[in-house]
Amino acid sequence: MITRSPAPLQRHDEAEEPAIATTGTAALTTTADTTAITHVDVPTDSEHTAPLSLPPAWQAQLSGAIRDPRELCRRLGLDERWLPGAEAGHSLFEVRVPEAFLARMRPGDPGDPLLRQVLPLGEETQPTPGYVADPLEEAAHTPAKGLIHKYHGRVLLITSPACAVNCRYCFRRHFPYAENSPSMAQWDASLDTLRNDPSITEAILSGGDPLATSDRRLAWLSERLEAIPHLKRLRIHTRLPVVIPERIDAELLGWLGATRLQKVVVLHINHANEIDESVIAACRRLSDAGVTLLNQSVLLRGVNDTVETLAALSERLFEAGVLPYYLHVLDPVTGAAHFDVPDDEARELVAGLRGVLPGFLMPRLVREIPGKASKTPL
């Protein structure tokens, strides 16, 4: 039985979207496995029937993501000995890998740094002391459903329960999305919280991945956020521009470029191989829309735990117009202990980085400790 997986992806015209005229078009709702026409307005003039409205290309890629560990192993030419562990890990947190991300992996190499981030392993089933379901204790900082308020001046809205890719080290792999799945009514309640607290100057859209939500819903939310006079910034934490670069399309850039709020997109990239030319092009489109681009990585055993790998990541990020921001040590979430790099080793790696990188390419090594007023430098 699959447990603690992000909720099914909703597409195009999602439930409880604001009313939008759809005369002459069909509204499509696509789950990860099916596409169904949920509404068709029949024109009174049958000679001028409008074509069905098709979902954007990025949504088709979301729907077509690999969600079977056997298929993932087969596509990458992995030996069958990897399959039992992959299926065991998948039973706890399901596989989800988009084709565009899969294409950057080396076939036949189980140590590929991109594959290691998404391939379930048997180690995920082994309990480890100190590793828990809610390592950041976010449940204690949820004043309303789908709203997390841990730090002064900023709040985080769970904008989507879905991700484009399921990263095995995710600190929210056990998050109760079913209890915090965003609806328009829930967003209204969150917006009331923001309106009534003038100390809040920044709204952070997170998830899941906020960009897995339709642009109509995101535009609706953005318009209401910018109407709150004391809000200054809109920050979006996302992996979608990396794993499906086509997500950065004209519709997204339209609402994002229109807001008065300062715009920050924090990407989640852990290895230079994740950044191909399509990712660089997506980053440029965001920059052209007035977005500040930052990156936060997680230090992961077997993925980026060498000075050379981390230096190459910083250099490649800068080529894409993205500044390194944070290098997080692993959050102790159940199922991810095999990725851990001890703090002393992490400090040595950062010391080595200082010897080869200019200061502006140095990410800050941090740990997030529950109850602290900010991230803790190491």
Binding-site annotation: residue ranges for [4Fe-4S] cluster: 163, 167, 170
DSSP 123: G
Binding-site residues: 163, 167, 170
How far apart CA 193 and CA 179 sit, in angstroms, is 18
Residue 330: DSSP 8-state: P
Evaluate whether 295 touches 361 at the Cβ level (below 8 Å). Answer: no
- What is the spatial order of strands in the sheet that 262-268 belongs to? 147-151, 154-160, 202-207, 233-238, 262-268, 291-298, 323-328, 364-367, 376-377
Question: What is the Cα gyration radius of the chain?
Answer: 21
Q: How far apart are CA 157 and CA 200, in angstroms?
A: 13
List the one residue out of 326, 310, 322 whose CA is nearest residue 374. 326
Q: What whole-number distance in Å separates Cα of residue 99 and Cα of residue 66?
A: 7
